[in-house]
Amino acid sequence: MSKLTKFLRQLKVRRLRRSIDPRHMLRRRLADYVLDYGFEIGDFSGGAPVIRFFGAGKLKVGKYSSIAEGATFVIAGEHPTDTVTSYMLGYSFPEGGMSPENRGLRGPDIVLGSDVWIASNALIRSGVTIGDGAVVGLGAVVIDDIPPYSVVVGNPARVISKRFPNEMIAELLELRWWDLPPAQVESLRALLEGRDIEAFLVACRQCRGLPPKDRAQPQSPPKRLAVVAPSDRAPESPRTHDARRPGPWTEAAISSWCVSYLATLMDVPAERIDVNMTFEKRSTSRSRRTRSPTTPRSPPWRAISRIASMRTRAPDDAWRG
């Protein structure tokens, strides 16, 4: 390129920049790429990206997108990796020209939707499509497509969250607020910069002339009912004894159980335990005595509790002798 040709090109780019509205910052900044390679930059998008362009492909950016300084877009320039060497020998041996494989150092376009935020030092590979409303984190390396309204970070970039629930995302993509006239967008500025998404959707539908959308009220969770397992035991009447205190009709079974329990507790043979032994409390001391026919017999469970308490106080020889 001669000096005259270079000067005329710079003059043309300068005139194009002056003709672009200053509010379309990104288009003004990339005016030379728009003029020479047909980059498509939407209205009101801004930023200071680094363009690594290798003569093929385009960068397409929607409206109201933000690209931080240092974000890099690599358009084409991919070396072949299925050949013996990935080096372009045409540079070292120009007489043979560039081989068809290396001549194809190109890649598909990079497409950014509207309302996209690219943070600093992020790298976007050729052929990637970033959906509307997506957020690319600091230093992320984007090699795959990003769904709308997703937040990605890391190397390689991965989705860590969504900005809004799926129902709201679907409605935002349907309304496409970025396609509204600038005057209507300015009227919605307070809602756009706020956090009341429901209010914004209602106002945006009014600007679009659409009827209000029926929103289902969140239903309260059903009350949990207590489920009682069926019991084989017949229901007790109010006048029956407590289930924890067996009545005299189960005395034989309780006595047998008491003998086994006392034998284990006192470490003595079961035949040495007198099932007819009873205890009663006297004002002076506790002693063993023979039950008279008129003396009511104390229930076996009381004998167990008293023997267990005496077992903790008496030496072992007292029970074995």
The catalytic site residues sit at: 79
Q: Mapping DSSP to helix (H, G, I), strand (E, B) and coil, where does residue 52 land?
A: strand
Reading the block at residue 122, the tokens are: 């992020």
Q: Nearest 5°: CA angle at 101, between 100 and 104?
A: 85
Question: In Å, how far are 118, 147, 162, 169, 302 from 134, measured between CA atoms?
Answer: 8, 7, 9, 11, 75
Q: Provide φ and ψ at 46, rounded to 5°.
A: -145, 165
Reading the block at residue 136, the tokens are: 């690319």
Burial 239-276 (b: 16+ CB within 10 A, else e): eeeeeeebeeeeeeebeeebbebbeeebeeeeeebeee
